[in-house]
Amino acid sequence: QVQLVESGGGSVQAGGSLRLSCVARGNSYNQMAWFRQAPGKEGEGVAAININTYIAVYADSVKGRFTITQDYAKKTVYLQMNSLKPEDTAMYLCAAGRPYDSWNDASRWPYWGQGTQVTVSS
């Protein structure tokens, strides 16, 4: 079993920044990702990283503003979010697994954290 714990969410004004963290326990994965869910909107894959190659991918909606990184030794992935917009308001969830293709398909990820809320006010 893989356990994931997120932290770092909160409330921020538009244009501000937040840094999310996700700590993993277990070994049954080679990628980690951040997804977000908001009422009235489809869930969206925000970013993903291969923990072995460090290759990262991003949703077009966050490119240039968000950066996913990791501390391999600490089994921790981060999401640095800059220039936040009200549209970024959502529950952000950390995921781990071996999705291979279709990384932004939530059904490909077997392990999930509890989520951390991000609220961006205008």
Q: Is residue 23 over pLDDT 90? A: yes
> Can you give the pLDDT at residue 14?
98
Least trusted range by pLDDT, from 2-6, 38-42, 82-86, 91-95: 38-42
| Strand segments (E) across the chain | 3-7, 10-13, 18-25, 31-37, 44-50, 56-58, 66-71, 76-81, 90-97, 111-112, 116-121
In terms of DSSP bridges, do strands 111-112 and 18-25 run parallel, antiparallel, or are they unpaired?
Answer: unpaired
> Can you give the pLDDT at residue 15?
98
Helix ranges (DSSP H) in the chain: none
Question: What is the distance between the alpha carbons of residues 68 and 57, in angstroms, rounded to a whole number?
Answer: 8
> Can you give the pLDDT at residue 42?
87
> Can you give the pLDDT at residue 100?
84
Q: Is residue 60 over pLDDT 90? A: yes
> Can you give the pLDDT at residue 113?
98
> Can you give the pLDDT at residue 101?
83
Mean pLDDT throughout 6-30?
97
Q: What is the mean pLDDT of the chain?
A: 96
> Can you give the pLDDT at residue 12?
98
